[in-house]
């Protein structure tokens, strides 16, 4: 088995989105009914500033007993992201979570509470790369593919921080948390509920470059 990491252009990513979203749905345990909505969202993401995407391709060796033809290449993982932007849904969810968690003092106006001003948010909100998605097929996990995808994705991005989210797991006992912690990602928000998702998530971040 040979693993190759390949960068995709925005056009290539959009064209491959049906298969890439299938990887996402399987890795996250989401129902197939979500596929069309996810495809629309992923295709829209290619227009975000600083969009970068990579896939992991596996080539089966002739010596490996497998029903798939030897030498044929299969996409087994995907990772993509872009620069944070206050106009984007995820950034707005992040800022809501920071407000609700009282990350910083409330700001009041003479006539009562008002919204936060830009300078009130933690510094990382002003310069971050959002790791929007990183997924590896369940049967391909445990081979270091996720680590290679993530480190490649974050190499050289023009931001001072990287942020990502992952579903909460009791005791952080899964490979995703293990990967993120090993790369120095720290807590930003815990047990955060995104609008439209019933599962709690952890939002994690770290400074860049990975070094």
Half-sphere exposure of 10 toward its Cβ, with a 13 Å CA cutoff?
11
Which residue among 54, 80, 128, 180 is the active-site one? 180
Q: What is the pLDDT of residues 109-165, one digit of tens each?
A: 334 343 444 446 788 999 999 999 999 999 999 999 999 999 999 999 999 999 999
**Domain total in the chain:** 1
- Where residue 76 sits, what CATH number does that domain have? 3.40.630.30
pLDDT for 100: 87
Using pLDDT thresholds of 50, 70 and 90, give the confidence band for residue 69. Answer: low
Q: Write out the two tokens for 69.
A: 């033809």
Q: Could you tell me which residue, 166 or 60, shows the higher pLDDT?
A: 166
Q: Which domain holds residue 32?
A: 2-207
176 class by beta-carbon count within 10 Å (0-12 exposed, 13-18 middle, 19+ buried): buried
User: What are the two backbone dihedrals, phi and then psi, of residue 85, each rounded to the nearest 5 degrees?
Assistant: -150, 125
Bridge-based pairing state of the strands 161-167 and 128-136: parallel
78 pLDDT higher than 50 = yes
Does 180 participate in catalysis according to the annotation?
A: yes
Q: How far apart, in Å, are the Cα atoms of 98 and each of 101, 105, 119, 122, 199?
A: 5, 11, 13, 9, 18
- Mean pLDDT value across residues 174-181: 96
- Statement: residue 72 has pLDDT above 90: no
Residue among 127, 140, 25, 148 nearest 75 (CA)? 140
């Amino acid at each position: 088995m040979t693993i190759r990491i390949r960068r995709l252009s925005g056009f290539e990513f959009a064209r491959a989105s049906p298969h890439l979203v299938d990887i996402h749905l399987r890795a996250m345990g989401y129902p197939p009914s979500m596929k069309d909505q996810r495809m629309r969202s992923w295709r829209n993401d290619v227009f975000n500033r600083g969009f970068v995407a990579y896939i992991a391709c596996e080539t089966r060796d002739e010596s490996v007993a497998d029903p798939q033809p030897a030498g044929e290449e299969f996409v087994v993982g995907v990772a993509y992201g872009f620069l944070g932007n206050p106009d984007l849904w995820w950034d707005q969810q992040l800022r809501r979570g920071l407000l609700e968690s009282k990350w910083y003092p409330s700001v009041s106006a003479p006539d009562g509470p008002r919204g936060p001003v830009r300078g009130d948010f933690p510094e990382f909100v002003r310069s971050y790369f959002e790791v929007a998605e990183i997924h590896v097929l369940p049967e391909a996990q445990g081979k270091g593919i996720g680590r290679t995808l993530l480190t490649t994705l974050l190499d050289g991005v023009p931001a001072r921080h990287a942020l990502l989210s992952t579903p909460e797991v009791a005791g952080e006992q899964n490979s995703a948390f293990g990967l993120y912690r090993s790369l120095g990602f720290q807590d930003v928000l815990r047990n955060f509920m995104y609008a439209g998702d019933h599962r709690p998530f952890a939002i994690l971040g770290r400074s860049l470059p990975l070094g």
